[in-house]
Amino acid sequence: MTYSSVAKLIELQKRLSRRIVSSLKPMDTASIRRIVGLDAAYSKRYGGVAIAALTTRDGQLLTYSVALGEPPLQYIPGLLAFREAPLFYTALRLLDSNYDLVVVDGHGISHPRRAGIASHIGIAIAKPSIGVAKKKLYGHEQIVSEDCKPPCIAGYVVDEDTGEKLAAIVRTGRSKKSRLYVSPGAYTDLDSATTIVLELLEARKTPLPAPTYHADRISKTIARQLDSGELSPRSLKKRHRTLLDYI
DNA sequence: GCGACAG
DNA sequence: ATCTTGTCGC
């Protein structure tokens, strides 16, 4: 990546953020039935291993799809969407199923230009999206209740200059490290996003919201099996019998 | 020059 | 993200 091409992508995000921010509004959380979790791992032989895991509202895994491919870019903080989103779009098309919301491993508007990967994806597929990251990318932390009972809201990430609330800091366990940064991607707001994520954490008692937890586990397993040779890329294209076939 | 820096 | 064994703690 050259400096000028990086600048181009940053400008693209600045324009995209207009649409992202204007899409942020409370959503009808009660109408959410099916949720897709998006996460990626990396295989030495085939590159990115993107997983779209379809779950029920209570975190039950119904089915999932896999997309393999060499990422078009190296990882650059703030530009993750250009590296990983393309593979997620492929995985979502392969899923060819109905869903009401996507939860992405990474940030939504808790981003220097309000254009994290979850926001890119939400706008691209025109559906509500939520970003759930393990580490902060941008903004300042305002801790409110450091010792709340997990899963709970320990505080927020706010913009230094505007004071705008960007993400909720969710405590998922007793240790200091078990925190998540929850931010709206698109077509939802911070409160709705946080409500849903807290519910998903509660449902399965997982360290990550169930949809993303499943996607994370599956992507890592497949990446490892691909590199060890016990799994071939073509075998991934086979349609497997899943819970969806029995529902 | 020194931190901060999603995955 | 990934490279990696033991080890501190509940």
* pLDDT per residue as tens digits for the range A141-182: 999 998 899 999 999 999 999 999 999 999 998 887 799 999
> Would the Cβ of A131 be found within 7 angstroms of any atom in strand B?
yes
Q: Which residues contact A67 (CB under 8 A, 6 or more apart)?
A: A48, A49, A50, A52, A87, A88, A90, A91, A94
Residue (of A127, A116, A132, A133) closest to A187 by Cα position: A127
| Pair A182, A105: CB distance under 8 Å | no
d(CA A15, CA A209): 30
| Count of Cβ atoms closer than 10 Å to residue A3 Cβ | 7
pLDDT digits (tens, 9 = 90+) for A49-91: 999 999 999 999 999 999 999 999 999 999 999 999 999 999 9
| Count of Cβ atoms closer than 10 Å to residue A42 Cβ | 13
CA of A178 to C1' of C4 (A): 22
| Pair A145, A153: CB distance under 8 Å | yes
pTM of the model: 0.96
CA of A209 to C1' of B3 (A): 31
CA of A178 to C1' of C6 (A): 22
Residue (of A177, A215, A181) closest to A197 by Cα position: A181
> Would the Cβ of A209 be found within 7 angstroms of any atom in strand B?
no
> Would the Cβ of A118 be found within 7 angstroms of any atom in strand C?
no
Confidence of residue A237 (pLDDT cuts 50, 70, 90): confident
> Would the Cβ of A208 be found within 7 angstroms of any atom in strand C?
no
CATH superfamily of A9-130+186-229: archaeoglobus fulgidus dsm 4304 superfamily (3.30.2170.10)
